[in-house]
Amino acid sequence: MKQELADFLNMDLQFIRGVGPVLAARFNDVLGGRRVLDFLLHIPSSVRNRGITECVMTSTHGDTITIPLLVKSHKQGGTFGRGRRRPTQITCADKSGTPVVIQFFNSSYLDYWLNKLPIGTWRIVSGKIEIVAGRATINHPDFIEEMQNAEKIPLNQAIYPSGEGLTQKTFANVRDQIFVALPEKLNGVDDQTREFFDALRHVHFPESNDDLAPGSTYIAKLAYWELLAHQSAIVLSRRKRDDVKNRRSVRPKKYDLISKMRAVLPFELTGAQNRTINEIFADMSGDTPMMRLVQGDVGSGKTIVALAAAVKMAESGAQTTLLAPTDTLAMQHFAKLKPMCDKIGIVCDVLTGRDKGNARKEKLISLRSGRTKLVVGTHALFSNDVEYRDLGLVIVDEQHRFGVSQREALRAKGNNPDLLALSATPIPRTLSMTIYGDMDISVINEKPAGRLPIKTTKLPMARVGDLVSHIRPQIESGAKVFWVCPLVEESVESDMTAVQTRFESLKAVFKNVGLVHGQMDKKTRDAVMQQFADDKSGMNILVATTVIEVGIDVPQATIIVIENAERFGLAALHQLRGRVGRGSSQSYCVLIYGDNISSDGLKRLNVLCETDDGFIIAEQDLMMRGVGELLGTKQSGWIQYHFVDYREHRDLFRLASSAARNDNVGPWTHDLMNIFDCGVNVGA
């Protein structure tokens, strides 16, 4: 890419006039980055028309209107009651003489507003109109302009998905400056680059909502390029890997550990586990590094499969690292693996952010010396001082939580080590090739023998009382219950009271109830979870926000209650449900929904009541996408695209995939991969 253009795209937004470091930080929260490029990839979600309305009575309550008004009188708000302020009211009239009152509740900029609206003048005012009992009001108008400046009000205003402290005017200002500066940066670029930025300009200046629909010409073009970037990255990474010759030939088998492992397992492996392990072993004796994804529903027994791979590695003396997304999960893996490793005779260790000082140093020395054969850990494993004698295998648990670049950062600590990714998120068959095209896939589609399907029902919030009396006897006879209350980011406080209230009300009935949420410090949280997992503690109910998430293993838990289940996406609900049904007794899942559940929300709950099959759920999830942001989408394992719509652009997936395979990856494709930050090291 032309240097001047690249520099511009990488420029920090704080250098744009009217932005500065504070706003740039806010942009970072919304855009996930603070460069001009991040802004360009964040497109409006709708268009608000601000064409002129002459008479207020032709509009409807709730409309956004733009209307010429004659200012009649000012009435300054005062204080009344307990220090609450009366709104300042400016009474105006439209062309027909119908009164329209403009109100300001916030007094900080009062003089400014009053100056903008002098008595006896005509002004163009734009904002949301409220008509109650024939009285028209506009609260805090979006625009107030003198008549001759009417064109300052955008006829079709692009509305950007925003966050705290960022107004639509700020978005428009940044956009305008970027697109004023851009043409100069595009001097002398090739046609494709020009076409790309031209498409971006069209979607940042939409004329109607149709321009922003997935089917519109420019969105579809951008979606195709985005897919092409990702597909090309996959193809490249695959080609790169096929070029690597394996070093296994220099690593002969020294010990016989696999048969030892089979002897110490406390259960028979399922057919699917055996098949997957065989596929892994075949990869490991092949002549290019393994890159395998194991997909299996929660509870299908992926941990043992991972252990088998690590043990196989240890047979030649090489080391394995297992990356887990949270401390809790890492500790849990370690607790499970350590006793088995002890029996097999390989050294297993754990490394998390909690390890400090000398203890940590010793762990690192043991890794460096090659003595530790399996290390389980979290982000702490990325640290520069973590070195291996011979890292042969990288295992990534719940791999969708980590980007390709992170998994590659770990692999870089060895000499082209094998990669094994574990995922509890099934990807619909139609998509797995295009999303995980650089990996081979094994599916564990069989649960350990004796597992009963989880019985799932849905229940309106009003019947929670019935539910409590219903599960009471079960709890008294020892059943363990997860009780999940969701948190929505915008209103953490009110949600916290919801969790707290539920906790108090359950405690009134059941006495020994645990509570965990994200605001607690990790130590306390882990201690409570430990207590819940412990049979002797008498704690049978754990009220939790989604911090219990993926992977927590309490096999004795047989009931999960999920409040406001309608707020979660299908995949997230399926994951949560997987917290139960891990033992041989019958388990139950109760989905509680609020009054204002949408028909899509209801559909999702019905899917869960009907099926337990992760693949069917994933397929349904895909078909129902586009119903707005759902809780837990990040956990659901889908790549978050800027322009691609999973439902509407399915044909583009196929097109881009075949184009990428036939392309010899020229400069334009490289540019695209950089633009869309595909996370694959595409260098030479």
Binding site for ligand ADP (CB under 6 A): 267-270, 273, 296, 298-304, 424, 448, 553, 555, 582
Q: How far is the CB of 424 from ligand ADP (least distance, A)?
A: 6
Nearest residue (CB) to Mg ion, 325 versus 551: 551
Question: Measured at the alpha carbon of residue 234, what is the angle toward residues 313 and 432, in degrees to the nearest 5?
Answer: 80
298 binds, among Mg ion, ligand ADP, none (CB under 5 to 8 A by kind): ligand ADP
Token pair 């002897």 is found at 263
Q: Identify the residue among 44, 206, 377, 551 touching Mg ion (CB under 5 A).
A: 551
C-alpha dist (Å) from residue 683 to 5, 27, 240, 612, 680:
20, 29, 10, 43, 9
Task: Return the range that interacts with Mg ion (CB under 5 A); candidates 269-277, 510-518, 547-555, 558-566.
Answer: 547-555
Find the shortest distance in angstroms from Cβ 480 to ligand ADP.
14
Q: Decide whether 237 or 270 has the Cβ nearer to ligand ADP.
A: 270
Nearest to ligand ADP by Cβ — which residue? 301
| Short-list 376, 403, 375, 379, CA closest to 325 | 379
CA distance 87 to 36: 39
In degrees, rounded to 5, the angle at the alpha carbon of residue 575 between the alpha carbons of residues 571 and 580 is 145
Closest CA to 452 of 589, 629, 350: 589
Indicate the pairing of strand 372-377 with strand 347-351.
parallel
Is residue 551 within 8 Å of 397, Cβ to Cβ? Answer: yes
Nearest to 348 by CA among 386, 388, 319, 326: 319
Residue 545: name its binding partner from ligand ADP, Mg ion, none (Cβ under 5 to 8 Å by kind). none
Minimum distance between the CB of residue 329 and Mg ion, rounded to whole angstroms? 7
Please say which residue, 417 or 583, places its beta carbon nearer to ligand ADP. Answer: 583
- Segment lying near Mg ion (by CB under 5 A), choices 128-136, 212-220, 467-475, 548-556: 548-556
582 binds, among Mg ion, ligand ADP, none (CB under 5 to 8 A by kind): ligand ADP
- Which is nearer to Mg ion, 72 or 336 (by Cβ)? 336
Q: Do the beta carbons of residue 516 and residue 450 sit within 8 Å?
A: no
CB of 425 vs Mg ion, minimal distance in Å: 12
Tokens of 264: 């110490």
* Smaller CB separation from ligand ADP, 446 or 663: 446
**Which DSSP letter does residue 388 get?**
-
Total residues interacting with Mg ion, rule: CB under 5 A: 1
From 7-15, 262-270, 519-527, 549-557, give the range in contact with Mg ion by CB under 5 A: 549-557
Please choose which of ligand ADP, Mg ion, none residue 65 contacts, taking the beta carbon within 5 to 8 angstroms, the exact cut-off set by kind.
Answer: none
Quick one: what does residue 609 bind among Mg ion, ligand ADP, none, with the CB cut-off 5 to 8 Å set by partner type?
none
Question: Which one of 5-13, 28-36, 452-460, 550-558 is the stretch in contact with Mg ion (CB under 5 A)?
Answer: 550-558
Q: Which of 292, 288, 390, 376 is nearest to 338 (CA)?
A: 376
Q: How many CB atoms lie within 10 A of CB 461?
A: 12
Smaller CB distance to ligand ADP: residue 299 or 325?
299
Partner from ligand ADP, Mg ion, none binding residue 679, C-beta < 5-8 Å depending on class = none
Is position 299 an interface residue for Mg ion (rule: CB under 5 A)?
no
Rounded to whole angstroms, the Cα distance separating 241 from 288 reads: 7
Minimum distance from residue 441 beta carbon to ligand ADP (Å): 15
CB closer to ligand ADP, 200 vs 324: 324
- Compute φ and ψ for 550, nearest 5 degrees: -50, 130
Q: Which amino acid is at 229?
A: A
**CB nearer ligand ADP, residue 425 or residue 669:** 425
Task: State which residue, 294 or 561, has the beta carbon closest to Mg ion.
Answer: 294
Task: Identify what 394 binds: ligand ADP, Mg ion, none; CB under 5 to 8 Å per kind.
Answer: none
Helices (H), 477-580: 492-510, 522-533, 570-577
Which of ligand ADP, Mg ion, none does residue 434 bind to, with CB < 5 to 8 Å depending on kind? none
Percent of the chain that is helix, strand, coil (3-state, to 5):
45, 20, 35
Residue (273 or 456) nearer to ligand ADP, CB: 273
The candidate with the shortest Cα–Cα distance to 329, out of 526, 527, 519, is: 526
Contacts of 188 (CB under 8 A, 6+ apart): 2
Give 132: exposed, middle or buried? Use CB within 10 Å, 0-12, 13-18, 19+.
exposed
Q: Which of 459, 664, 633 is nearest to 546 (CA)?
A: 633
Closest CA to 600 of 565, 640, 633: 565
Q: Shortest gap between Cβ of 620 and Mg ion (angstroms)?
A: 23
- In the block, which residue shows the tokens 């204002």? 596
Residue 300 contact, options ligand ADP, Mg ion, none, Cβ 5-8 Å cut-off depending on partner type:
ligand ADP
Please say which residue, 122 or 267, places its beta carbon nearer to ligand ADP. Answer: 267
Q: Write down the least CB distance from residue 551 to Mg ion, Å.
A: 5
Task: Single out the residue of 211, 210, 194 nearest to residue 202, CA to CA.
Answer: 211
Binding partner at 326 among ligand ADP, Mg ion, none, C-beta below 5 to 8 Å by kind: none
Q: How far is the CB of 371 from Mg ion (least distance, A)?
A: 26
Q: What does 267 bind: ligand ADP, Mg ion, none (CB cut-off 5 to 8 Å by kind)? A: ligand ADP
CB 265 → ligand ADP: shortest distance, Å?
Answer: 8
Q: Residue 422 Cβ, how far from Mg ion at the closest point, in Å?
A: 7
Could you tell me how many residues make up the chain? 684
Residue 260 neighbours by CB distance under 10 Å: 15
- CB closer to Mg ion, 87 vs 551: 551
Dihedral of CA atoms 596, 631, 306, 310 in degrees, nearest 10, equals: -160
DSSP string covering 617-629: HHHHHHHHTTS--
Give the H/E segment covering residue 137.
strand 135-139
Give whichever of 123 and 582 is closer to ligand ADP, judged by the CB atom.
582
Which residue of this chain has its Cβ atom nearest to Mg ion in the complex?
551
Q: Give me the amino acid identity at 550.
A: V
Q: Residue 313: name its binding partner from Mg ion, ligand ADP, none (Cβ under 5 to 8 Å by kind).
A: none
| Angle, CA 635 vertex, CA 407 and CA 565 arms, to 5° | 170
Nearest-approach distance from CB 415 to ligand ADP, in angstroms:
29
- CB of 306: closest distance to Mg ion in angstroms? 9
From the CB of 163, what's the least distance to ligand ADP, in Å?
Answer: 34
Identify what 141 binds: Mg ion, ligand ADP, none; CB under 5 to 8 Å per kind: none
Which residue, 193 or 303, has its beta carbon nearer to ligand ADP?
303
Q: Which is nearer to ligand ADP, 212 or 424 (CB)?
A: 424
Q: Where are the alpha helices (DSSP H) in 551-613?
A: 570-577, 599-610
Smallest separation (angstroms) from Mg ion to the CB of 303: 6
Give the single-character DSSP code of 261: H
CA angle, residues 629, 631, 633, in degrees to nearest 5: 70
> Residue type for 499, please?
V
Please state the closest distance from residue 386 (CB atom) to Mg ion, in A: 23
Q: Which residues bind Mg ion (CB under 5 A)?
A: 551
